[in-house]
Amino acid sequence: MKSLKEKWDKKAQHYNRYTDDPNTLESTICNYIKEAGIMLNGQHILDVGCGTGAYTLRIAQKAQTVDAVDISPAMLAILNEDAQKIGLTNITTYPSSWEAYPLEAKHYDIAIATMFPALKKDTHFQKMHDAAITKLFLGWDGKEGTELIESLFRAHHATYHPPNSASRLKQWLDSKQIPYKVITHTEEKTRIRPFEEAIQNYTWHLTARGLPPDREKIISVLKKYLNAQGEVVERAFNYFNLVIW
């Protein structure tokens, strides 16, 4: 069985990466952060589960320093490559899980985690709470899903359960009587992928959920979602919470 690091390393080359397009989800979320009165300028920031740096590189253009943590060296390599392209030198990357990342000698002005599925235990939330003065977490609130994904899980004799990381965090904050603010964002999104790329993508998703992927079953499901060009079309409705405390 592949390790978590190996799974995310494999995903890295097909993962969302930084762009300066103002119409992306990353741009929208950064605008929400600004509208909430949180200033990034001159701040020391921790980015937890940074991935390829889609948010990191936006944040670093204003922050004094950014420490970017991710379990996948392949993801961090892409982040560093894109940082070099746009001339950013204030990012330090750490190949580490969140559990193993040492906080003892560090404290930050802001800690941020965006779409980070490994932040789900009470101990994870407590560690982030202790890491910085201001904390921001962007996650799903249990309503993300698509007909295609659900069909794939059924074909593998499993039920798809959408991520509910934001709900778990809010439950933890409530239990600790810690006040927080929630900004809700919804979006409809259509993803179009070449057929073979789609097979690889959904194979990864099944594997990441602990399901042994059956290529023939994947192909059978995907054929129901082809457009005239033979590409796989997936329509999604996503429901996000930006939790600030």
**pLDDT bucket at 141, cuts 50 / 70 / 90:** confident
Tell me the C-alpha distance between 77 and 93, whole Å. 9
pLDDT at 9 > cutoff 90: no
Domain annotation covers residue 118: yes
Of residues 3 and 93, which shows the higher confidence score?
93
**pLDDT bucket at 143, cuts 50 / 70 / 90:** low
Domain annotation covers residue 99: yes
Domain annotation covers residue 208: no
DSSP one-letter code for 14: G
Tell me the C-alpha distance between 24 and 150, whole Å. 25
Of residues 116 and 61, which shows the higher confidence score?
61
- Cβ-proximal residues to 197 (8 Å cutoff; 6+ apart), any chain: 14
**pLDDT bucket at 203, cuts 50 / 70 / 90:** very high
Number of Cβ within a 10 Å radius of residue 134: 17
Q: 192: number of CA atoms within 13 Å, CB side?
A: 6
Tell me the C-alpha distance between 16 and 205, whole Å. 15
**pLDDT bucket at 144, cuts 50 / 70 / 90:** low
Domain annotation covers residue 203: no
Burial label for 163, CB within 10 Å (0-12, 13-18, 19+), is middle
Percentage of residues in the chain having pLDDT higher than 90: 77
Domain annotation covers residue 224: no
Query: Whose structure tokens read 């007909």?
Result: 147
**pLDDT bucket at 136, cuts 50 / 70 / 90:** very high
CB 108, CB 67: distance < 8 Å? yes
Tell me the C-alpha distance between 169 and 7, whole Å. 25
Domain annotation covers residue 202: no
- The whole domain housing 124 covers 4-145+161-188+237-244
**pLDDT bucket at 237, cuts 50 / 70 / 90:** confident
Number of Cβ within a 10 Å radius of residue 218: 21
The tokens describing 193, both together, are 């992928």
What CATH number corresponds to the domain at position 89? 3.40.50.150
Domain annotation covers residue 216: no
Q: pLDDT tens, 32-80?
A: 999 999 999 999 999 999 999 999 999 999 999 999 999 999 999 999 9
Domain annotation covers residue 83: yes
pLDDT at 120 > cutoff 60: yes
Of residues 142 and 54, which shows the higher confidence score?
54
The model carries a pTM of 0.87
Q: What is the mean pLDDT of the chain?
A: 93
Quote the pLDDT of residue 134: 98
pLDDT at 140 > cutoff 90: no
How many structural domains does the chain have?
Answer: 1
Tell me the C-alpha distance between 229 and 123, whole Å. 48
